[in-house]
Amino acid sequence: MKTFRVDLWQEGEYTYKQSYGFMPNIMAFLHEEDASKRDCILVAPGGGYCMCAPHEGELVAMEFYKKGLNAFVITYTTDITFSEPLKKQPMNDIARAVRTIRKNAEEYNIIPNHLVICGFSAAGHLCATLATHFEDATDSNPEYAGISARPDAVILGYPVITSGDFTHGSSMDALLGRDATQEERDYYSLEKQVTENTPPCFIWQTVGDSLVPVENSYLFADALRAKKVPYAQYVFPFGDHGLSVASSEQFAGWKGGEYSMEQLNKVLPHVKDNTLINVPERRRNELIQQFFPEKKPEAPNPEDNPEAKKFREMMAKGNPFADVNMWPELAYIWMSRLFS
């Protein structure tokens, strides 16, 4: 496997104020055993537009790498301080990532019109934003301006879709700010933005998702159907938010993909040193309590947690999310049909 990092913006192009030295980037995971051109997937980890969760990045990319795809993980702009609304910056990041991969298709041994983007939770919203607004994701750099940012297919795992009744409020606050106009909220309420040119979508979620209501997936699927956009939708009966690939390896304590936390790790020293930019003291105190508590809470005894005990008992009988764990295979079959 060939692995490397590519920064997405050149000097002077990236101007997000709360970056604290972070640069949006992609990590590549490429096959080296032959020079055959491959389908590829770009994975965007979720995290409420506040961070990028590692288990929704590299772990997912490896599932598709093992199926023969060349894979990439994007670490896009987020803001855990809620001090500067992100607006179009995350969409511009992922659009530049798509263009970067296509621009280097020969070097990366990928088929440029077989490019899938895959996102979870808030990153599902990000991927669906590019799927519906790719024409707005223009690029002023002449190296990239003529390259399409439209993905060829989209995979959405427990996605945030709407800014309406079933939204995930903190994701929208980080993206748009609490004073967003109704026009802005409608623009990012993606069930309202589907067109006939929206790329095919694969959507999955669980009925029991307590953080992002399953209605988000239904709203988007209904909009796709109304516009006759090909889609697949799987709704699993059991499981909460954030399941990623729901594999036994994951539940056994998988570790990896720490690079996805780069921006958060660059922000936290400024939280501690009180050198944040335009962050209210109330929010800084919340972050201190979250990441630098004066007294670290005692680690709970797992034997005392009835839910943990129940989960261990279920795991002893086999993966309780074995059905959810099938979604990568289902998505791969779906992709294979699209690209055949």
Domain range for 185 is 2-338
**Does residue 308 register a pLDDT over 70?**
no
| Cα–Cα distance, 290 to 273 (Å, whole number) | 15
In terms of Cα–Cα distance, which of 196, 220, 208 is closest to 124? 220
- CATH code of the domain covering residue 48: 3.40.50.1820
Please tell me the predicted confidence (pLDDT) of residue 307: 60
Residue 300: band (very low, low, confident or very high) from pLDDT cuts 50, 70, 90: low
* Mean of pLDDT values over 294-322: 70
pTM (2 decimals)?
0.95
Distances (CA, A) of 78 to 96, 162, 257: 16, 19, 17
* 153-157 vs 201-206, strand pairing mode: parallel
Residue 34: band (very low, low, confident or very high) from pLDDT cuts 50, 70, 90: confident
Q: Per the structure, how many domains does the chain have?
A: 1
Strand order, beta sheet including 153-157: 2-7, 25-30, 70-75, 38-44, 110-120, 153-157, 201-206, 231-236
